[in-house]
Structure 1
Amino acid sequence: MQVNFRVSGRIAKPVAEVFEAVADPEKLSRYFTTGGAEGRIEPGATVTWDFHDFPGAFPVEVIEVVPNVKIVLEWDASEGEGGEIGTKMREAGYKTTVTIMFKPIENGRTLVEIAEEGWRDAPGGRRSSYNNCEGWTGMLIAMKAWLEHGINLREGFYK
């Protein structure tokens, strides 16, 4: 069995603006990376993301970028025991791949689809995929609130 997921959401902004909200570290830090982001998402780059709910900045490798269409990232998989919030995570010794697609839709809106794949088909891998699915869903919701209404939903949520 492959362990993967796909989430999506619609944002009432043009594709170029939504794409930049992910590619630009200053913008990404305004609504998603609660501890900040460093480095622009460009092909071959390694950027750094930090989250209050997942302590310690970590590298994100940029594999592919098609402006206003697609971003492909890889990062180290982490696995934890159990599923409780606050469970200690450990490096799992392999990477997962994240693909973010941006599609123009009616009325100048954008459909954003995020897929992540590559976890081991084992309890720790499945648990981590569920956690990341929750995280990417939260990212889409936070991006929509920030881009459409200027509201940072994650501010104070984790710390």
Structure 2
Amino acid sequence: MNHLEIKAAIQIAKPIQEVFEAIVDPQKMSNYFIAKGSARMETGKTVTWQFPEFPDQFNITVLSVSAPSAIAFEWEGAKDHVLKVDMQLQDKGAATVVRITEGTMPNDEEGIKWLRGNTEGWANFLACLKAYLEYNINLRTGAFDYMKG
């Protein structure tokens, strides 16, 4: 059976170190993605992310951080499935390409549901990261209020 894997990418008009810091620093990430994070993403740490729209908290087990070009972590990316997320940052001088891979899940109904939802999630993460870094805008503000209880 084939397995499903998410891939998403975007170019951000900011230097790689600035993009990297916006991902690993929970104070910066709270300006575009999470409501709060328990700690900076560092190799071997488990951090907790709280999203503004949902009461759930998500534990992120940081597998490796290679500043400023790579971050890898595991989380429960689908119910009862611990999945690996790889973030690769490519220096383009005044810009940075961010590539995200998450996976894998079986190519079945559950896997397709995960693929659809998390692909949308990572595309949103990348768009929010770009809007925050390039224009100082938090795209998530109010965007998912319709999902609250």
- TM-score normalised by the chain length of structure 2: 0.91
Question: Unaligned stretches of 5+ in structure 1?
Answer: 79-90
Instruction: State whether residues 6 and 118 of structure 2, in contact with CA within 8 Å, keep that contact through their aligned partners in structure 1.
Output: no
How far did residue 120 of structure 1 move? 2.9
SS of equivalent residue, structure 2 residue 41: coil
Question: Unaligned stretches of 5+ in structure 2?
Answer: none
Specify the alignment match of 1:75 in structure 2. 75
Specify the alignment match of 1:110 in structure 2. 96
Specify the alignment match of 1:2 in structure 2. 3
How far did residue 54 of structure 1 move? 4.2
Specify the alignment match of 2:45 in structure 1. 45
- TM-score normalised by the chain length of structure 1: 0.85
Distance 2:49 2:100 in 1: 17
How far did residue 77 of structure 1 move? 3.5
Specify the alignment match of 2:120 in structure 1. 134
Specify the alignment match of 1:18 in structure 2. 19
Distance 1:59 1:31 in 2: 18
Deviation per residue, 1:91-112 (Å, 9 max, x gap) = 32x3111000000115x10000
Query: Which amino acid counterpart does residue 87 of structure 2 have in structure 1?
Result: I
Query: Which amino acid counterpart does residue 70 of structure 1 have in structure 2?
Result: A
Query: Which amino acid counterpart does residue 82 of structure 2 have in structure 1?
Result: K
Moved over 6 A (4+): none
Query: Which amino acid counterpart does residue 47 of structure 1 have in structure 2?
Result: V
RMSD over aligned CA atoms reads 1.3
Instruction: State whether residues 21 and 28 of structure 2, in contact with CA within 8 Å, keep that contact through their aligned partners in structure 1.
Output: yes
Question: By percentage of residues, which structure has more strand?
Answer: 1
SS of equivalent residue, structure 1 residue 55: coil
Instruction: State whether residues 77 and 119 of structure 1, in contact with CA within 8 Å, keep that contact through their aligned partners in structure 2.
Output: no
Corresponding residue to 1:97 among 74, 77, 84:
84
Query: Which amino acid counterpart does residue 27 of structure 2 have in structure 1?
Result: E
Count of paired positions: 144
Specify the alignment match of 1:85 in structure 2. none
Instruction: State whether residues 95 and 118 of structure 1, in contact with CA within 8 Å, keep that contact through their aligned partners in structure 2.
Output: no
SS of equivalent residue, structure 1 residue 72: strand
Instruction: State whether residues 5 and 102 of structure 2, in contact with CA within 8 Å, keep that contact through their aligned partners in structure 1.
Output: yes
Distance 1:120 1:29 in 2: 32
How far did residue 52 of structure 1 move? 3.6
Specify the alignment match of 1:156 in structure 2. 142
